[in-house]
Amino acid sequence: MKSYFRISDIRSDLESGSVSCVELVRHYLAKIEENKHLNAFLEVWGEEALEKAAEVDAKIASGHAGRLAGVVIALKDVLAFKDHKVSSSSKILKGFESTYNATVVERLLAEDAIFIGRTNCDEFAMGASNENSAFGPVLNAADTSRVPGGSSGGSAVAVQAGMAHAALGSDTGGSIRQPAAFCGLFGLKPTYGLISRWGLLAYASSFDQIGPMCKSLEDTMLLTSIMSGADGNDASMDQQPNRHYQAANPEKKYRFAVMRQAVEHPGLDSQVAEKTRFLLEKLQSQGHEITYFDFELLDYMVPAYYVLTTAEASSNLSRYSGLLYGYRSGDAKDLETTFTLSRSQGFGPEVKRRIMLGTFVLSSDYYDAYYQKAQKVRRIIKDKTAEVLKQADAILIPTTSTPAFKLGEKSKDPVAMYLADLFTVQANLAGNCAISLPLFENRDGLPIGMQLMCSHFQEQNLFDISQELLNIAKE
Ligand code: GLN
């Protein structure tokens, strides 16, 4: 089977009859079997995907197939798919099945996408390496001694290793972009409010966004178009109907803003720095404008992010009490021990750490010192980001300061792990859209991602500029 990089190629082969949806699904199922050791999937819906494929084949024959006919998609284990298990890679949701579809699931199904399985991730999407899953780590297919990034590590590896054509992830502080960068994919964190969060198991609601992880920019645009747009079930959204992102070639000269503190950061890997310099020089030589700006707040971003997200998480995760759904401790004797034992046995160590941090920063004695202060820092970061983007079309920085790190390298040191989010949390704190582009590899063949960030709801610009970067990096 040939490897497809674009949905449009799948479509033309389906229409010419050179491939069928059933053949495609069989192919991906074989790849999943072959790559079991990567631990990317928690569950594979093989039979069902084959049945759905046969239905879609019939639709193609009758000329009524949707835009995602034959597109095999993996779902991060944080998205509700009716009558299917969803667990956030946690023991606390043991046995839980969703009773409804997430809006994104509904919209993709309406276009005849085929879901092949749910992917491993960090428990409750808390992590940057996929080592926090209750079901074991995911391995990076480029080098199995390395992490795929997190928290959407299983989704990234599913696409990287050809086990699905595309995948959905969620991004609260980098969980789509960082694994996309580590696995050589396109990963979009849409503007906060572009895509409905209905049916997404919440981590930090004012940060979370769902987005696509793909092998091409074209597919990223198509999936984003289909998933975007108003949804009465998510009150925090932009109320516009869905958008139609398209490849455009405006042949414009762009103004790029580069954060000096990021590109001169002491923790920046030398090959990532080298590629960044190369890209900036190329852009300049093609007539684009590069300006450097100072962002003294860089060192405050990760702390502000962790104060606010743990606060929100501690409240969101209070619903997992052992009473309503999921895991209930067999040792519980009364209401109190149902709560305490179910939660202490059901949640993993990182989730517990964050719940404790979150309740601490929200407690009355510390609310002003931590939570309020972090809210103020968030506001300043948002304003500063908006100000920079008034003078520039996009902010350009590497997605991560290093390529994929080794399994176990940071798992004993939570602060080192939190710092892996250094370049990605800004877009979530400010709500902007941001994309990671798979532009380079280091000398060992490990992918290096470059990140673009644009103003709120400027996804079309983000895609246009991404195309320009792809053209330039290819030359
Ligand atoms: N690594 C970050 C965290 O652990 C980001 C996670 C995410 O975006 N879901 O919170």
Strands 72-76 and 41-44 turn out to be unpaired
Q: Among residues 105, 109, 114, 104, which one has the least CA distance to residue 20?
A: 114
pTM here is 0.97
pLDDT at 398: 96
Q: Where are the alpha helices (DSSP H) in 363-444?
A: 373-391, 414-419, 425-430
Separation CA 260–CA 218 (nearest Å):
31
| Residue tagged active-site, from 20, 52, 76, 401 | 76
Q: What are phi and psi of 152, to 5 degrees?
A: -85, 50
pLDDT at 475: 72
Measured from CB, residues less than 6 Å from any atom of ligand 1 are 125-128, 151, 171-175, 203, 309, 421
pLDDT at 418: 82
Q: Is 3 a catalytic residue?
A: no
Give how far Cα 138 sits from Cα of 25, 156, 208, 256, Å. Answer: 22, 10, 22, 35
| Residue tagged active-site, from 151, 228, 314, 321 | 151
pLDDT at 465: 97
pLDDT at 19: 97
For the four alpha carbons of 452, 207, 214 and 89, in that order, the dihedral sign comes to: positive
Residues 227/108, Cβ–Cβ less than 8 Å: yes
How much distance in Å is there from the Cα of 285 to the middle of ligand 1?
A: 36
Positions of the chain with pLDDT under 50: none
Q: Is 151 a catalytic residue?
A: yes
Give how far Cα 328 sits from Cα of 46, 91, 294, 403, Å. Answer: 30, 10, 51, 40
Separation CA 26–CA 155 (nearest Å):
19
Q: Among residues 401, 377, 409, which one has the least CA distance to residue 182?
A: 401
Separation CA 119–CA 170 (nearest Å):
12
Indicate which residue's Cα is closest to atom 5 of ligand 1.
173
**Mutation test of ligand 1: which of 120, 172, 308 has the most ligand atoms closer than 8 Å to its C-beta?**
172
| Residue tagged active-site, from 175, 342, 411, 466 | 175
**Quick one: which H or E segment has residue 107?**
helix 103-110
Task: Show the domains of the chain with their CATH numbers.
Answer: 7-227 (3.90.1300.10)
Give how far Cα 133 sits from Cα of 41, 90, 108, 152, 313, Å. Answer: 12, 7, 26, 11, 17
